[in-house]
Chain A
Amino acid sequence: MSATDRRLWRGLDERELEAWVAAEFPGALPLLAEPTRREVMRAMAASLALAGLAGCGEGAEEAIPYVEQPPEEVPGAARYFATAIIFEGYAQPVLAETHEGRPTKLEGNPEHAASGGATDAFTQAAILQLYDPDRSAAPLKGGRPAAWTEVERAALELATSLERNGGAGFRILTGDVTSPTLSRQLDALQRRWPQMRVHSFEPVGAGARRDGLREAFGRALELQLRLADAEAIVTFDDDLLGPGPAQVRRVRDWAAARRTGRGRVFAAECTPGLTGTAAAARLAVAPARIPMLVAALARRCGVVAPEVTPTAPESAWIEAAARALEAASGAGLVTIGTRHAPGLHALVHRLNDALGHSGRSARYTEALTYPAAPLTALAEEMAAGKVETLLVLGVNPAYTAAGAIRFPEHLRRVGTIIHAGLYADETAALAHWHLPLAHDLESWSDARAEDGTVTILQPVIRPFLSVRTAHEILALLGGEVGAAPRAIVEATWRERFGDAFETHWRRSLHDGFVAGTAAPAIAVRPVAAGPVAIPKSTGIEIVFAPDPTVWDGRFANLAWLQELPKPLSKLTWDNVVSLSPGTARALNVGAGDIVHLAAGGRVLEGPAWLLPGQPDGVATVYLGYGRRRAGRVGDAIGYDAFALQDPSSPFLIDGARLSRTAGNRRLATTQMHGSMEGFDFVRRVGARDAAVKGAKERHDASLYAGWPTGDPAWGMVIDLDLCVGCNACVIACQAENNVPPVGKSQVEMGREMHWLRIDRYYAGPEEAPETYFQPVPCMHCEKAPCELGCPVHATVHGPEGLNEMVYNRCIGTRTCSSYCPYKVRRFNWFDFTRDVAPSIEAQRNPDVTVRGRGVMEKCTYCIQRLNEARIAAHKENRPIRDGEVVTACQQACPSSAIVFGNLADAASAAAKAKASPRNYSLLGELDTRPRTTYLARVAPGEGKD
């Protein structure tokens, strides 16, 4: 149609496109020119005809519908399969709940020592990742979709060339690997191509801990912390109870100790974490003072260390900690965080050894992870142009590598980059090949938990995308085209199980772990001490911390975790630069003001946040944000803290400059006020058996008769002394009850939908506050104000004492929420559940109604689980047993702080908990008679009295 001969071009991409078309589809080149009407019609006809071909995918496996229903498959009844989710290489053992072959929820594997039935928030959210519509669906070659056959061809070519040069210039980069199968495969490749190297990189990981172990003991070891019997725990900038691969085990163990009045924590902490919150004595110190404190404690406990001069409060804290450790006589523990130098770790190991903690609370085993070279070595080789081919397996170094490494730059010098990952992420964008990895829940694999116990991962759903497991990709590289993923894993275990393979295999799959694979403790003594450097702080210290909800960014595309309030700041959908209120005031910075951080020639800008309990002169930056290719949820939120990192001391930079800029960013927090304003929402008692003042409510003052206590009478007790604020319950509730995320702007307006929230209160001075967590689900009041307000009977009292929501009947007057003193009700301001991807819909729990627009909702005490138990009991003509109904929050809770059960049964755990003198009702003075009550926090420092 164009009358002119001169082809006009619009942009440079067009030239590129032209070049690409010329190379790939020379026949189609004329189509790029201004098309004629006929050509347009022809193209349209062709598109229409070819559209049908999109249905012709690969992998048409045989599928035969049931003729007779298999006895184990009952429609409507959930089935559970034991498998695991891998987090930083370590298995998080789970039971996957599936409905007609569709996994919907993950629970901890109760028989596995690392879980005990509990999970953390990340594991709870893994189910959402399985269904993430932004997951990579097919291989990419140069950013364009390719078929696996192409990949196979290229892999064989690569293998042939590696065969010739013995693997020279070939590097594999993985995360931490504990998988026996992956280790076996890597070893096999290593043997075959001796010149190749395996590097491993975890952006957060164990870091200096491993180097410290090596320095202290002269060999690679694994340190396992066993808190269950610890009388006293001293932590130096180490968030033991915070998020991480071992969180569940540690919180569970600590709670067990705490229950018996032990587990007193002395935390010297910089950025406030969950450990400091649970501590009997928390000392807020800048990281530069940590080496000094460790040395002081070591000297106090008779271990050789440099002489130092702590301040008066520091000395007092050290003295208290030392006394507690002495009193514990061996049943104690000293730990230090990964951001501190290996030398300091070594000193702590010597201290533990001297105090007799080794082999008890500090347990040493052989290293669990595959021995691999670090990322820095790889970067150097890449910079030197020595890397011909790089296989990136399941990590995203283009985003997570420290900015100082300039990894993306070095990637350009690599001949061929093959990236395998769940997402086509930042690294995939720079790679020549991107291979989509299967999610753990659709994979055959294996991995070790933190104690070394192996879980064999079995798929709980057939992959619905064109994905492969890491094992298949390595097998492919090794020349095995089309190796069945199961066979690869089986091969590892055939070797180990020997003749009894079938029995052991089945047993292990059923149980979710391979019996007897826990790493045995070994007795080791520290080798001679090296010198310990005591640094001096020279300016603003920058502390790098993994984000409490998106970690290193690997969870950035999961809306549940983005919207999960960070435990202390209660922020959602953003990362911030945490400053102490004092430092912020000195700079005239308020929450949300953009601050500028500069260190080592690298800069970063992010919104400030005033965090009580943070020491002055320290800026904490959080990893995991500023993603560019995370997906539709996680892109372009927050700033990228990795850019500021220096690999020599990745989590700590001293001598940085901090200044204020003119900008400001609106932050979405779910709790605006930290103080209790003189109220007593969180009660404290001096001792475990002390009674809460005024907790006995006067029930005789009512004009009306009490609620008839039927049997069962459901109730819940939450022990505030055990709650560490880990957020597992919040996500468990969200996953179980089809609670939709609503996005940042809605959270900003106060419209988050969480049925269970964790309130965080501060008391005392802002430099050293006491911090309290209070999970708040529906109180299920016997005299419920909400029920009075509803004009249409949409919220009514059930015969078993539940305050029930009838969604179908709700017309959305919101009177119930206005009247609710606890504000636990949530409203569907828009149709939050309608416009989600179909794959997300697949995650939904079929036992729970999906609520539409204009309907009120709230915690139901997991009524679907109650009903399931009721039906089961009814069929067997018996009452519901104690412990038969476990609410989702209770099930996930690693510290078992939540107890649910029949209050009419005096022998039930819930009734016993209610009988505790620490039991009290929130806002009991209103006489709403809540069925959810709390056990008062045992005041810090008085846990043992």
Chain B
Amino acid sequence: MTDDAPILDPRQSYAAITRQIGDIPLKYPARLAWLVGLGLSAILLVVFVVSVTVLFANGVGVWGINIPVNWGLAISNYVWWLGIGHAGTLISALLLLMGQHWRNSLNRFAEAMTLFAVLCAGIYPILHLGRPWFVYWMFPYPATMSVWPQFRSPLEWDVWAVLTYLTVSILFWYVGLIPDLAAVRDRAGRRGWQIFFGVLALGWRGSARHWYRWRVAYRLTAAIAVPLVVSVHSEVSLLFAVGQIPGWHSTIFPPYFVLGAAFSGFAVVAMIAIVLRHAFGFDNLVTDRHLDALGKVLLACGLMTAYGYVFELVDAVYAGGAHELQTVQDRFFGAEAWSYWGAVVLNFIPLQALWFARVRRSAVALFLIALSVTVGMWFERYMIVVSSLYRDFLVSSWNGFTPSLWEWGVFIGTLGLFLVPYFLFVRLFPAISIAESKETIHEERHA
């Protein structure tokens, strides 16, 4: 932050911050809007439950996938959701370790986003199985036949990566929450709330020793989480890069995927930040400077992702493999070209407006650009999965792919799977870190 203006107004009182955030669970302000939002999300969740029931009852044949497009929306959505999850960890852990205090206003809800996005992502590899009831065979449990998982498979790496990531994300989120839970507990008037937050706060008393231990734990978890940001999505990219399929078999994939993940994740964080700021009047906590910072990060990630796009092409042309060139041609002009150009246009064209500070500081503009990136990155995931598979090596196997209604149903349903817990989260927990916000104000006062 080169800007000299303070991140948060240092004139705010600590008590006001605690009251502003801590009272949300106890005296929920926008009850009707929340109920409507939750209701709509619950409808989406019902769509999810119905689609999954149909899927489990009949088999993955209810989707539009075929040979050669073995993987359709399931895997592209898996990558998309997992990518979105990345920004939460990046903001929370990486920026924490790098001493970027502006992240203190964003980390809490970004982490929650990570959790629920990983949940949505993690359910896909189970749903897409031909025999989902045997998913536990991917775990190294002591089977009577002494059969182990196949450790050379990127899918097996997936299991480990995603589970580790989920565990660390939960830990990090929860550890960060403890002081705030205690703050809410102390403000709670009703017995129920007192017990609920009291139990969750794990007996936090705010002693110096507590703060010291907490800080060590929090930073340690952050230190564990940071490499995961890189490793998880690198690993996800290997799911493709290990296969010899043209359009997948490229060494650029790990960094390309990690950057793309951060790109999509920051876009969603920006959207959530803008919505929460508007809903709860958090203008004092999520300031235009935050939006400005998010805009800059988004732009940087976007440009690096664009580099990945360019280099993928350079790679194919430089290597000159006939099949790779064929895939490039298919992406440019083939039946699935809409997904390629959709990704290019939605990801990178509106993004260029972020070069201007006025746009970055405009909530509406930033929201729209972030939305465009979120959709654009969905197109990209789809493009990578489908436009490579539908025309692979042997011309005789070339075919098309049309997602079925149930395939869309599951996807739309996962939006519910994401939003319902998210609505519960903003209802039940402090959506912005009270302690860390106060820390920022403290530092601003003494700067």
**Does the CB pair B70–A761 fall under 8 Å?**
no
Whether A751 pairs with B67 at a CB distance below 8 angstroms is yes
Known: A681-B395, A792-B150. A828 touches B130 (CB 8 A): yes
Give the residues in chain A near B154, CB-CB below 8 Å. Answer: 789, 815
A707 at the A/B interface (Cβ < 8 Å)? Answer: no
Interface size for chain B: under 10, 10 to 19, 20 to 34, or 35 or more residues?
A: 35 or more
A749 at the interface (CB under 8 A from B): yes
Q: Which residues of B contact A761 (CB under 8 A)?
A: 395-396
Asked if B392 and A821 make an inter-chain contact with CB atoms under 8 angstroms apart, the answer reads yes
Asked if residues A823 and B130 are in contact (CB atoms below 8 Å), the reply is no
For B245, the chain A residues whose CB sits under 8 A away are 818-819, 821
Interface of A is mostly: loop
B242 touches A819 (CB 8 A): yes
| Segment 241-280 of B: residues with Cβ below 8 Å from A | 242-245
Q: Are B149 and A675 in contact (CB under 8 A)?
A: no
Residue picked from A671, A746, A814, most chain B C-beta under 10 Å: A814
Residue numbers in A under 8 Å from B148 (CB-CB): 793
Give the distance in Å from the alpha carbon of A828 to the alpha carbon of B59 in the complex. Answer: 9
- In this complex, which of A810, A812, A825 has the most chain B Cβ atoms within 10 angstroms of its Cβ? A812
What 1/0 flags go to A738-768 for Cβ under 8 Å of B?
Answer: 0000000010011100000101110000000
Q: Which of A793, A809, A813, A815 has the most CB of B within 10 A?
A: A813
Establish whether residues B150 and A823, one from each chain, have CB atoms under 8 Å apart when the complex forms: no
- Are B395 and A790 in touch, CB under 8 angstroms? no
Contact A815 to B394, CB < 8 A, known contacts A678-B322, A854-B129: no
> At the interface, yes or no: B155 with Cβ under 8 Å from chain A?
yes
Asked if A789 and B61 make an inter-chain contact with CB atoms under 8 angstroms apart, the answer reads: no
A810: chain B residues within 8 A (beta carbon): 130-131
The residues in B between 47 and 79 inclusive whose CB is less than 8 angstroms from any CB of A are: 58-61, 64-71
Which A residues, 758 to 804, have Cβ-Cβ distances below 8 Å to chain B?
759-761, 774, 776, 785, 788-793
CB distance from B174 to the nearest CB of A (A): 30
Q: Is B147 an interface position by the 8 A CB rule?
A: yes
Which single member of B59, B131, B149 contacts A829 (CB below 8 Å)?
Answer: B59
Does B156 make an interface contact (CB < 8 A)? yes
Does the CB pair B243–A785 fall under 8 Å?
Answer: yes
Q: A456 at interface (Cβ–Cβ under 8 A)?
A: no
A384 within 8 A of B: no
B356 within 8 A of A: no
A530 to chain B, nearest CB (A): 49
Choose among B64, B67, B125, B400 the residue that contacts A823 (Cβ–Cβ < 8 A): B67
Question: A822 at the A/B interface (Cβ < 8 Å)?
Answer: yes
Among A676, A774, A792, A812, contact of B149 (Cβ-Cβ < 8 Å): A792
| Cβ proximity bits A114-127 to B, threshold 8 Å, 1 near / 0 not | 00000000000000
Are A750 and B396 within 8 A (Cβ)? Answer: no
Q: Which of A811-846 contact B (CB under 8 A)?
A: 811-815, 817-819, 821-823, 825-831
Q: Is A13 an interface residue (CB 8 A)?
A: no
CB-based contact A750/B68 at 8 Å = yes
B236 close to A (CB within 8 Å): no
Shortest beta-carbon distance from B329 to chain A in Å: 10
Nearest A residue to B155 via CB reads A791
B138-A790 in contact (CB<8A): no
Q: A671-B396, A672-B399, A814-B70 are in contact. Are A791 and B244 (CB under 8 A)?
A: no
Interface members, chain B 100-142 (any A CB < 8 Å):
125, 128-132, 134-135, 137-138
- B129–A813 CB distance below 8 A: yes
Taking a contact as CB atoms closer than 8 A, the residue among B69, B138, B396 that contacts A792 in the complex is B138
Is A923 an interface residue when CB atoms closer than 8 A count as contact?
yes
B389 at the interface (CB under 8 A from A): yes
A750-B68, A813-B155 given as contacts; is B243 within 8 A of A819 (CB)? yes
Q: Answer whether residue B159 sits at the interface, using C-beta atoms and an 8 A cutoff.
A: yes
Nearest-CB distance from A792 to chain B (Å)? 5
Q: Which residues on the B side are within 8 Å of A854 (C-beta)?
A: 59-60, 129-132
Tell me which residues across on chain B come within 8 A of A818, comparing CB atoms.
68, 70-71, 243, 245, 389
Q: Which residue of A lies closest to B243 (CB)?
A: A819
Is the Cβ of B153 less than 8 Å from the Cβ of A750? no
CA distance A818 to B148 in the complex (A): 22
Residues on A with C-beta less than 8 A from B150 are 790-793
Residues of A within 8 A of B149 (CB): 791-793
**How long is the Cα–Cα vector from A811 to B147 in the complex, in angstroms?**
14
Question: CB of A855 within 8 A of chain B?
Answer: yes
Q: A524 within 8 Å of B by Cβ?
A: no
Residue A926 is within 8 A (CB to CB) of chain B in the complex: yes
Q: Which residues of B contact A923 (CB under 8 A)?
A: 393-394
A673 and B398 contact, Cβ closer than 8 Å, known pairs A793-B148, A853-B130: yes
A570 to chain B, nearest CB (A): 9
Cα distance, A761 to B135, chains bound together (Å): 40
The answer to whether B59 and A831 touch across the interface, beta carbons within 8 angstroms, is: yes
Chain B contacts of A774 at CB under 8 A? 396
Chain A residue numbers with a CB within 8 Å of B326 are 677
Separation in Å of the A705 CB from the closest CB of chain B? Answer: 15
Do A822 and B399 touch across chains, with their CB atoms under 8 A apart?
no
- Does A679 interact with chain B (Cβ within 8 Å)? yes
Asked if A811 and B395 make an inter-chain contact with CB atoms under 8 angstroms apart, the answer reads no
Q: Is B152 positioned at the interface, with any CB of A under 8 Å from its CB?
A: yes
In the assembled complex, which residues on chain A have CB atoms less than 8 Å from the CB atom of B159? 791
Residues from chain A with a CB closer than 8 A to the CB of B397 are 822-823
Residue-wise interface mask of A (406-437) relative to B, using a CB-CB cutoff of 8 A (1 in contact, 0 not): 00000000000000000000000000000000
Whole-angstrom distance from the CB of B65 to the nearest CB of chain A? 8
Residue A856 at the B interface, CB < 8 A?
A: yes
- A672 to B395: give the CA distance in the assembly, Å: 8
- Asked if A815 contacts B153 (CB within 8 A), the reply is yes
Shortest distance between the CB of A742 and any CB in chain B (Å): 9
* A750 to B390 alpha-carbon distance, docked (Å): 11
Residue contact A823 to B392, C-beta cutoff 8 Å: yes
A750-B67 contact given A822-B394, A854-B60, CB 8 Å threshold: yes
Write the nearest CB–CB distance from B342 to chain A, whole angstroms: 23
Give the contacting residue for A750; candidates B129, B156, B323, B399; CB below 8 A. Answer: B399
* Cα distance, A814 to B243, chains bound together (Å): 12
Q: Give CA–CA (A673, B335) in the complex, Å.
A: 14
Please, what's the 1-or-0 string for B147-182, where 1 marks a CB less than 8 Å from any CB in chain A? 111101111101100000000000000000000000
**In the assembly, what is the distance between CA of A776 and CA of B394, in Å?**
10
Specify which chain A residues have a CB less than 8 angstroms from the CB of B70 in the assembled complex: 814-815, 817-818, 827
Residues in A with CB closer than 8 Å to B396 are: 671, 673, 681, 757, 759-761, 774, 776
> Complex Cα distance A789/B152, Å?
7
Chain B neighbourhood of A673, CB < 8 A:
395-396, 398
Q: Mask for B83-105, Cβ within 8 A of A = 1, else 0? A: 00000000000000000000000
Are B131 and A791 closer than 8 Å at their CB atoms?
no
Complex Cα gap A812–B131 (Å): 6
- For A677, the chain B residues whose CB sits under 8 A away are 326, 395
A745–B438 alpha-carbon span in the complex (Å): 63
- Residue of chain A at shortest CB distance from B61: A829
Q: Shortest beta-carbon distance, B138 to chain A, in Å?
A: 5
Q: Give every chain B residue within 8 A of A819 (Cβ-Cβ).
A: 242-245
| B64 CB → nearest A CB, Å | 7
A906–B127 Cα distance when bound, in Å, is: 49
| Interchain CA distance A928-B135 in the complex, whole Å | 29
Contact present for A789 and B71 (CB under 8 Å): no
Given the interface contacts A750-B67, A789-B154, A793-B148, does A812 sit within 8 Å of B243 by beta carbon?
Answer: no
Q: Is the CB of B131 within 8 A of A788?
A: no
| Chain A residues with CB below 8 A from B156, complex form | 791
Cβ of A675: which chain B residues have Cβ within 8 Å of it? 395
Q: Could you list 17 examples of A-B contacts with CB < 8 Å? A: A672-B400, A673-B398, A761-B396, A774-B396, A791-B153, A791-B158, A792-B134, A792-B137, A811-B129, A811-B134, A812-B130, A813-B125, A818-B243, A819-B242, A823-B68, A827-B70, A853-B130
Given A776-B396, A818-B389, 12 new contacts (CB under 8 A): A761-B396, A785-B244, A790-B155, A791-B153, A791-B156, A792-B138, A809-B147, A813-B128, A817-B70, A821-B394, A822-B394, A856-B130
Sorted nearest first, the 5 A-B pairs with minimum C-beta distance are A812-B130, A854-B130, A829-B61, A750-B66, A759-B396
